[in-house]
Structures are given as C-alpha cells and as structure tokens.
Structure 1
Amino acid sequence: MATILRNSVKVFYYARNALRDVAPQALFRRRLAARLGQAMLPDETIRARLKFYNKLRSAFVPSPDAVPVSRLPFSPSMYYYDLKEFARYFDPGLLIDLEFGDVRKVPKMPSVVKDRPITADNSNAVIMKLDKFRHFHMPADRLSFADKRPAVVWRGHLNNPIRTRFLEAVRDLPFCDAGTPNKKAAEQYRKPYLTIAQHKQYRYIVSLEGNDVATNLKWIMSSNSLCLMPPPTYETWFAESRLEANVHYASLERDFSDLSEKVQYFERHPAEAQRIISAANAYCRTFADERAEQAISLLVLYKYFVLSGQIEPDAEVWRYISG
C-alpha cells in the first residue's frame, strides 16, 4: 500500500510540474513582485536559513558556462523541475551557473547545487531544495521506540569506503542487521532489501554518507527510531552541519568502535534515546511549513540574481534579505 501511494504521489509530482511547463510562463513572471512580498515572512529563522543556503556577499559575474532560465538542463528531471519551480518567476534570459547531481567539491564559480561539503569556505555552493521527492520523503512512524526491535539496522550501496568499514566492524555483532542488497557485492556483505517501514521496526538505524549526504537521514530523524551516525561531512537543504551530536542524533566514531557501547547505553537509558528522538523530530518539522519553504527558495534565487548583477533589487526586499 505504501508503494502504491508513493507511486501515486510521484505521478502527481510529474503531472503538476509538466502542466507548469506548458502554461504561459509570463503568467508566473507577472507574479514575481507579489510572491516576493509574500516571502518576507516576519519569522527570523527565514532570514537565517536564507543566509545559510546562500552565503554569497559580494557581486560576481556568471561564468561562460552559465545557462539561461529558459534552457535549464532537463536531466535529471527532478532537479530540473525543483529548480524551475522557482526560476520560472524570473526573466528567462537570466543566467545561472549550476551543478546537478552529487557535488563533491565546492564550485569555482557561485553555482546552484543540491549539496556541498561542510567546510569553512563553501559559499560558492548555493543550496536549493533539489531532488526533494527523494530526499525529503519522511513518512509517519506509528511504532513507539519501546515497541521496536532492540537491534541495529542498515542497508545501502557500498559506494563509500566508510560503508564497507562499517560492515566489517559490525560483522560479528549479533544485534546488528547490516548489509547491502546489491547482488554484485561480496557475499559476506549481502543482505535482503528492506523497505523504509521495515527499517523502522528497529530501535536503532544507522545513517552513513554515500556519494555525498546520506539519503536516509531525513526519514530516520523523523521516525521514532534513534539515528546513529558519524558527524556529517556534506550538507543539503536539510542543513546537516547544524545537527548537534547527541542532541539530534547519537554520534559514532568513524571506525564504529563505540557502537556496542552506545547501544548498551541507550538500552539502559531509554529516556535518553527518546530525548534525542524528540529533538530530531522537532528539527524535521522545520521543513514541514510549505509557505516558509517556498519563501526561502524564491529568496535564495533572488539574492543570486541580484549579486550576479542581472536584476536591480527592490529596496524593501533587499533590506529584508540583508538585514
């Protein structure tokens, strides 16, 4: 049933965005001023998140590789639709430098991306909420922590050495159900595929980065299971660098030598596990306000176009952004 519902939502996602593409785009551009007015929400966290996603402060000139709004690359399609949802409000000739897919390094030019490395100087990577259908799927969890299986679970592809290191570290731990469903992986690492709902039957779910961020992090933190992971090294719209170890998730050493100790501790202190789970759930609710999500997305692009010298800023909107 969950798969049927998910597929139905996916069909609606594509249908809605396809209709937006065939509609006269001038209709959206005429609404830009009104949308910007609506985006200036009084909540100070809006501006704080805007400044986090778009850290640019100085003027710049788009590179020769920049593409106009009217010709954003269509592949991958979800990246295209998620960016075009807000880019269509701007002049089709405005130029954007962008990098779709998994971004492992900070771009040399200010560019719109889905993710960026967590470093002190990553301001050239301007984050938008891209591929959100996949990354921001956070289904409800009706099973309490106490009623879950007192064990650890992980499934994923072995596309990062840390994942293989994890499987080696937990191979002989009887309370760990960890492996990869990839049939091409070494036999000792293979385990059957598990759905999200099956993962959430366990009290402890491990989140490990792959090509960049860990895709499962959002739905783990929105569940009633405890997220176990090493500190993140990449961030997306989810602002992974703002997650606090042992506040929003239970921190693990990068060699996983403390996994047994952590699980034993939380089995003896379930209230501590629940405290972290509650904080994680509250953090996830930050992204549930669709009005705020749309406002920030529009303002991130507006700031990009202003600093790239392509549009003259509205004084009131610019005061709001820079205030």
Structure 2
Amino acid sequence: MKKTGLATSFIFTLCATVATYVSQFGSVRSPRSAHFLRIHENMPHDTVKRLKSSEQTFPGDAERLRMYARSWTDFRGYDEFLSNAHEEMCHVIRNTREDAPHTLFNTVQFLGREHLEKCVSKYPYCADALSFFETGINVDRLLVLFGDVTENLTHLPFITKARKASSGEGILWPLNVGRHFTPMALVAENDLPWKDKQERLVWRGKDTGCAGHRRVLKVKNLFNSTDARVDVAFEPQLLDEANSGFARHHLSRREMLRNKYLLALDGNDVASALKWMLYSNSVVFMPKSRFETWALESMLKPYVHYVPVASDLSDTSEQLDWAKAHDAACQNISRRATEFISNFIGYATNSGMSRDQRIKRAIVKAYNDAMGQIMAGFSPESCDALGEGAAQVC
C-alpha cells in the first residue's frame, strides 16, 4: 500500500511538472530538442530560477583552487608517475629558450624570474607569468606554457592559460589578461539597455589555428542562413583564401552590442570575446565550451548564464524563436551571466593581477610541493639517454 501511495505521488508530481512546462512553453519539444527536459543543468531558465539559490552561487576559494589546480592540490608521486615526469622534464628542458622565451608558443618551458623579465616588454604572457613569483612564496623556476593550445604533458604541474575542460592537464593561471579580460572594461561605454537592442544574433571571428576547421564548419552552416535574424561570418582580415566566401564586413564592439544575441564559438581555446559578451547587456548563445580558463567557463550553465545551441549550430533558428518568446527570461540570463563574470572584472584593470592572492598562494604552494617531489630524484644528465620526442599540441 505504501509503495502504491509513493508511486501515485511520484506520478502526480511528474504530471504537475509537465503541466507547468507546457503552460510556460506551449508543448514538450521535438526529439531534436528533447535535451530541454533531460537533466538539471539543461532546463529552461524559468525552471532553473526556481532551483535553490545555493546551486547558482559563485564558488568559494577552496572550490576554485580545486578547479584551477585539480589533483595537484594534493599530489603524492609514486615511482612510475615520477619516472614519466622525469621524461617530460627532459622534453621541457630541451625546448626551453631562456634567452627568448617569448618566441616559443604552445610548448612548456622551465623558466626563472630572470628569463621572464627579459620579455616583459615584448610579450604579455611574460608579464602575467611573472605574477607567479610575486605571491610572497619563493619559487625557483616555473613550468609555463605560452599560447592557446595545451601541450600533452600529463605528469607536470605547468601553468597554462587554458585547457580542455575534460582534462586535468596543467594548472590554470590568468595569462594574456589584456586580450581576454581588459575588453570587459570597455563594455559600458559601448553597450545599450536591453530594450533598445535588436533581436539579431551576430558573430565575427577568425578561421586561424589548429581548431580553425571546426569554426569553418559551424560558420558555413549559418553564413547562408535564410533566417534574417542571423548575421554570422568571418572577419575578412587574415582569412584563408578557401574561406573568403564566408566573410562579411568588420563589426565593432559597439555595433555588436546593438543586438540582443551574441554568438560565442570556441577557437583554439575559449572564445576570446566570451568574457566581455557575458559582461554585457546582451545574452550569449553558444555550444557548451570545450575549454576552461581562470574565468571558470566550465561552471557556466545553459539557461542560467547562456542560451545553448547545438555543437553544429543546427538549432540556432529554433533557439532564436525560444528567445523571442521568452524575452524576460533571456534578459535574466544576461543579468546572471554578468553577475558571474563580474567576479573577474578586476582583471580588466592594471591592478588585476594583484587579485585572488589567497588562491594564488595556495596554487604556488601546491606547485612547489609537487615540484619538490618531482625534482628530488631528477638528474638533467639522464636526459642524454632519452630520445628527443615531441609532444603533440594540435
């Protein structure tokens, strides 16, 4: 009898949930959009906003530390792991350019403060990486990667601007801050109130880099769209000749912000414009990002911080229909995205790298602890017996 009562209660609750959904959205969607009801984080905004607020709060320092440094926060090296780490250290040492570290991209180097100081005026990564030496904790040398593509080194605690969200390779650190964070400070002078924006989806970007082919396929899908609300194209500058037919005129940030809907697409890593887009009064449309940086993009939730679209952008018009029908919900998504990314607005100023010192000191300590174990049994002379090898980056 009790089981029957529980089953009846469950069915009643399920029916009520579906009835509420239908009353808000008209009907349960087609199989192509069945993801709307599948799991918690893919629920529409009107459902998400009723979830307890603790699920939407910004993470505290301890959680951020775990996300940035992953398993390096409690590293305990065993013999086989340390042996692999020593092989990777040989690869790194052979590749390091102490006299000109800024000339090597997408490859981990082993650098001291004095090496980074040589390139501070030549390359923004050098100045940002120097902040690792400025937390008050002594660091001998730093394993660091300059560039967009994370090298396939799984046994070393190198710092990197970005990594695949599905991997734990590298320790995230705010690098190339000027390109990724500074534009947030320019949003206010170029933005419009939500009510004054046009109901259009816009994107401009490049096709360069290892991930360029992914963008090409996506842009091709939308470039010739018959939906007048869609304006997606490559920038004409520095465009591969084969893709020149998919270019349109440049759009300034001010011109883009005249529109309610901004498309963000991964390139070699997270879209460089994503942070200022989230900070704006517009709402971001994007496939779930495959990457994460210091801004914790892997914590962004669909229908909470952005409007999701399929990885091939095939449901873009359908999602624009949803957005038009739920204008207030989209405005709230935009507000919540701004609240989230506002936690990093300090990095848009010259004093940005002095922020988050408690977290950064914990990362530096974890790095020192791990490197102490790795270097204790390492001899650079042993590298002579190893082959050159090369880590794959693209």
Q: TM (normalized to structure 2)?
A: 0.62
Residues 163-193 of structure 1: CA distance to partner in whole angstroms, max 9, x if unpaired?
2222222212321112112344434211111
Q: In structure 2, which of residues 141, 153, 158 is the aligned counterpart of residue 111 of structure 1?
A: 158
Partner of 1:80: 126
- How far off is 1:296 after superposition? 2.4
Q: How does 1:83-102 map to 2 (within 5 A)?
A: 83-89=129-135, 94-102=140-148
Indicate conservation of the 8 Å contact 2:133/2:139, yes or no.
no
Indicate conservation of the 8 Å contact 1:46/1:292, yes or no.
no
Distance of aligned partners of 1:91 and 1:256 in 2 relative to their CA distance in 1, 3 Å threshold: closer
Partner of 1:299: 362
**3-state SS of 1:287 partner:** helix
User: Does 2:336 match 1:284?
Assistant: no
The code of the aligned residue for 1:164 comes to: V
Partner of 1:169: 221
- The 1-side partners of 2:170 and 2:139 are apart by 22
Q: In structure 1, which of residues 38, 54, 58 is the aligned counterpart of residue 75 of structure 2?
A: 58
Structure with greater proportional helix content: 2
- How far off is 1:70 after superposition? 2.8
- How far off is 1:302 after superposition? 2.8
Q: Which stretch has the larger CA shift, 187-196 or 70-79?
A: 70-79
Q: In structure 2, which of residues 166, 169, 173 is the aligned counterpart of residue 128 of structure 1?
A: 173
The code of the aligned residue for 1:189 comes to: F
- How far off is 1:254 after superposition? 1.2
**3-state SS of 1:256 partner:** coil
- How far off is 1:90 after superposition? 5.9
Q: How does 1:162-311 map to 2 (within 5 A)?
A: 162-170=214-222, 171-172=224-225, 173-183=227-237, 184-185=239-240, 186-288=243-345, 292-309=355-372
Distance of aligned partners of 1:58 and 1:152 in 2 relative to their CA distance in 1, 3 Å threshold: same
- How far off is 1:47 after superposition? 2.1
Report which of the two structures shows the higher radius of gyration computed on alpha carbons: 2
Residues 263-287 of structure 1: CA distance to partner in whole angstroms, max 9, x if unpaired?
1111121011012111101101121
Indicate conservation of the 8 Å contact 1:232/1:240, yes or no.
yes
Indicate conservation of the 8 Å contact 2:309/2:316, yes or no.
yes
Corresponding pairs, count? 266
Q: TM (normalized to structure 1)?
A: 0.75
Partner of 2:206: 157
**3-state SS of 1:47 partner:** helix
**Kindly, what percent of the aligned residue pairs are identical?**
26
**3-state SS of 2:199 partner:** strand
Indicate conservation of the 8 Å contact 2:137/2:364, yes or no.
no
- The 2-side partners of 1:50 and 1:70 are apart by 27
Unmatched 5+ stretches in structure 2: 1-57, 94-109, 347-351, 374-394
- How far off is 1:303 after superposition? 2.2
Q: Which stretch has the larger CA shift, 257-266 or 134-143?
A: 134-143
Q: Which stretch has the larger CA shift, 82-91 or 270-279?
A: 82-91
Unmatched 5+ stretches in structure 1: 1-42, 311-323
Partner of 1:68: 112
Indicate conservation of the 8 Å contact 2:143/2:157, yes or no.
yes
The code of the aligned residue for 1:182 comes to: P
**3-state SS of 1:288 partner:** helix
- How far off is 1:44 after superposition? 7.5
- The 2-side partners of 1:220 and 1:115 are apart by 18
Indicate conservation of the 8 Å contact 1:153/1:204, yes or no.
yes
Indicate conservation of the 8 Å contact 1:287/1:293, yes or no.
no
- The 2-side partners of 1:44 and 1:275 are apart by 20
Report the aligned-residue RMSD. 2.5
- The 2-side partners of 1:103 and 1:299 are apart by 25
Indicate conservation of the 8 Å contact 2:139/2:368, yes or no.
no
The code of the aligned residue for 2:365 comes to: Y
Indicate conservation of the 8 Å contact 1:128/1:300, yes or no.
no
Residues 196-217 of structure 1: CA distance to partner in whole angstroms, max 9, x if unpaired?
1211111111000111111011
Distance of aligned partners of 1:287 and 1:188 in 2 relative to their CA distance in 1, 3 Å threshold: same
Indicate conservation of the 8 Å contact 2:157/2:370, yes or no.
no
Distance of aligned partners of 1:225 and 1:182 in 2 relative to their CA distance in 1, 3 Å threshold: same
- The 1-side partners of 2:333 and 2:139 are apart by 47
Indicate conservation of the 8 Å contact 2:135/2:360, yes or no.
no
